[in-house]
Every structure is written in structure tokens, then in C-alpha cells.
Structure 1
């Protein structure tokens, strides 16, 4: 389990915060979300981790860098894995890990190194919001719509913010349990959902939480995965066209609690 790391606190309150998570270098999905008027108009665009672990990391970095200072980044477990592989602190355990490292040039690795374990933003109408990848205590913690109150209390111990926004499970939800509001914007690039293929999920915060979705041409994402030579192209294709159900994934994740 990865413990708490650096937390960035944004000094100025914002009216609108767009939150995108788990892009997984799915460029067609990312482009569709970035083209949304409410994302374009947001004061900040916050990425909740696992940005580049997918077929087109270089193009993904180009797109988010174009947002300039409006973009803020949380480090996910996949982003951390790239850094560990590049530093030699982690041996490639699978052909896909070796392939993934080769897809990340030095400049992309350096970009990921600037991400934060957590970010706290004051959002109009909501107050202070803590954004992380898994949870405030681990980037591998699986938080779902069914996570019990006792574990929510444990994972938020010592955290003053009462609104937590995280990714990692690729499930979109907004729930309140034990006085803690838990929000997952869903995954932009590899969602687990009951909707149609070619749907990217995200959220807009301020003055409340608005769960959003954007449509894109999933055939472009499937072609990019195949063209990149992803060793798990068949698996990614299945996930994009026939993902696990929300109920099934929730039950599986709650049985694990932590997963890298």
C-alpha cells in the first residue's frame, strides 16, 4: 500500500472545477471531453490520475499541456508505475509493462514526475474538496458506491475535508456516507459502466456536483490500441466494447479493497 504523499493546496477558490480521471491515453475520448464547453470554461481542469497508461501517452501529454496553468494533476498508481519503471525501481513484470515504458519518452516521464499525491481545492458552493486517485491514504485503494462507512472513516482519518474526489475504480458515482461525500467522476478512457460503448465519464464541481458523460467514436480508440501494438489489445478491446457491469465490478472491488 502506498501511503500519503505530497498534497498541493490551491490558494485561490474556484467557481468551476472540471475533474477528469483514468484517461489511460485514450486520445479520442480525451479530445471529446476537452471539447465540452463546460470543460473549456472551467477555472481548473483536474486530472485524478492514470493519465498516460495506454496507447498514446505522447499525444495525451501534448493535449493536457495545452491547457496551461488551468491543468492540475494527481498521480495515479499507473503514473507511479511509469516513474518506477523508468527509474529502475521496478522491474517490468509483464510484456505490457515493458511496452508501456517504451511508449514514454524522457520528456513524458519528467512530466509525470511533477504530479501530486493529492490536491485540495476550494470550490464555490462546496467548500474544500480533496482530490486523490484511490483514497487519501493509498493510490491503490478501491472506493466504490458500496464502500462501508467504517472503511470510509478509516481512509479519511486525519483528513479535514468532507468531500473526497477520486478515481481508480473507473466507476462514476456520488454518494454520502457517514458525513463524507465520496465522488468518482468515472473514467474518461476506460470506464466500467452500463452505458453504450464510446462514452467518456467526468464531473463538473461547483456549485454542486454534476456527473457528466461525453460521446466519442470508440472505433478510433480501438484502432489506436491495435496500431500501437498493445500486448493486451484484445483485453482493452473487450473493456471498451463490453465492460464489466457496475454491480459486478463493485462487488469484485469491495472484495479486494486494494489493487494495483
Structure 2
């Protein structure tokens, strides 16, 4: 059994197309999507149109929830851009996404933590950046979720973590469409993958043991960056082009 795990596409249809091309070569048995599908100053409707046809099990990310549920005047500019451009068919598709998915007895899917789509699981914000949490912090954030494999997104930083106390594996595939960003919750910080590549992950069951592979793909990030710049988001433009947030020193 080979499962592909994608997350945090953020309306980057060019990165998604690169992932789809690679998925054809990898031919996984199943593809799952951990959410934050369309929010961003890029191609939200074009991205949704592709995802509507996939029938992938899809978790609702925090930005998916905001676009669906919040009034426009309460949204930030990233979500407003997407909300104003989504067709009703795409909104209807996005509404079929689920807060969490118990894929099998062994595999649990969430966007942030098992009980909160806007909390980091595989990063702890200390100072200006995220860092690998200690094991007790991870266990506390799981809130008793006992699935042997827990797949999450939200941080945009790829990780595979094995908990010594429980033997559980935490997989974060990183972001398909946005390699770095700045946020002000719980305080101002940046997340940076360090390169502009599109990312997803493969997990393969090998006689009862899971093996993991991070896929790191080239795509036309210059065009994605130019689209963000054209749409008035220079921070996104730098992030998409370089994989770091903010101007290069």
C-alpha cells in the first residue's frame, strides 16, 4: 500500500500540476489532501477546479474554513482573494471537506492538531521561527489521539517524527504551494522551507512497517511569484521565488 499525502496547496495551480505529473509516475494506491487548498493570491478557482475532479479524501484546513464560514469583512487579504473568485461549484466542493478523517484504524488525518485546525503540531514557535517540539509537547497536542500514523499539515515544514513513548509516527508533508510565510499567532514568526520547490510525501507500508519519502519538485515558481506580485502581495512573491520569507540580505 502506497499513500501520497499532499497539503497546503494555497491556490498554487502550477505547483499542483507539477505534483500531479509526479503522482502519475509514482502511481500511489491512494492520495489524501490535508487542506488549505485554495487560499492565496494566485489561482484559487483554477486549483479548485482540478481538485473537484480528484475525489481525494480532503481535510478542511483553517483557511478553507475561513473562506467558507467567515464574512468577507472579517477575512484577511489572502482569504478575501480566494473567496471573491471561487465559483459556487468550488464552494460546494470545499464544503465537503472534513475537519479530520480517520482513514483507517492505523491512519488519522488532520490539518493542524487533532482538535484544532489552527494550531501547529509538528512545530513549536520559539522566538522568530518554528522548531521541533519536545516529545511531551507533541503528546500533549495529540490530546489522546492514538492512531499509529498521524498526518498533519499547516506548518508548511516537512517532518517525520517518531514518538518514543507510544511508537506513533507524525508525518507532515510540507506545502505543495507555499514554501514560506509570516504569521502573528501566537506571536510574529516565520516558517521557511528554504527552497521554492513544491513538496508532498509518500508513505509505503512494507510488511507492516511504514516507510516515508519526501518529494521535492521543481516547477515554474518564477511565474507563480510574478502572479502574487501582480495581485499586490510582494511578501508572497518573495516567498514563492526563494523559499525564504522577506527580502534577501
Q: With structure 2 as the length reference, what TM-score do the two structures score?
A: 0.79
Q: Is the 8 A contact 1:74 1:133 kept in 2?
A: yes
Partner of 2:151: 165
1:175 deviates by: 1.4
Q: Distance in 2 between matches of 1:181 and 1:65?
A: 30
CA RMSD of aligned residues (A): 2.2
For residue 64 of structure 1, the aligned residue among 47, 51, 59 is: 51
Partner of 1:256: none
Q: Distance in 2 between matches of 1:48 and 1:97?
A: 18
Unmatched tracts of structure 2, length 5 or more:
124-130, 181-191, 206-210
Q: Secondary structure at the match of 2:215?
A: strand
For residue 134 of structure 1, the aligned residue among 112, 118, 123 is: 112
Q: Distance in 1 between matches of 2:150 and 2:242?
A: 29
| More helix per residue | 1
1:92 deviates by: 2.6
Unmatched tracts of structure 1, length 5 or more:
1-14, 246-260
Q: Which moved more, 1:212-221 or 1:152-161?
A: 152-161
Q: How many residues align?
A: 218
1:151 deviates by: 2.2
Q: With structure 1 as the length reference, what TM-score do the two structures score?
A: 0.76
Once the two structures are superposed, what CA deviation does each residue of 1:175-214 show, in whole Å capped at 9, x if it has no partner? Answer: 11233321100000002445433x1110011122211111
Q: Is the 8 A contact 1:176 1:182 kept in 2?
A: yes
Q: Distance in 1 between matches of 2:16 and 2:86?
A: 18
**2:60 equivalent to 1:75:** yes
**2:187 equivalent to 1:209:** no
Q: Distance in 1 between matches of 2:132 and 2:19?
A: 27
Partner of 2:5: 19
Q: Which moved more, 1:186-195 or 1:34-43?
A: 34-43
Q: Is the 8 A contact 1:17 1:204 kept in 2?
A: yes
| 1:102-181 map, 5 Å | 102-122=84-104, 128-143=106-121, 144=123, 146-177=132-163, 178-179=165-166, 180-181=168-169
Summarize the Cα distance change of 1:40–1:200 in structure 2 as closer, same or farther, 3 Å threshold.
Answer: same
Bigger relative CO (Cα 8 Å, ≥ 6 apart): 1
Q: Is the 8 A contact 2:194 2:244 kept in 1?
A: no
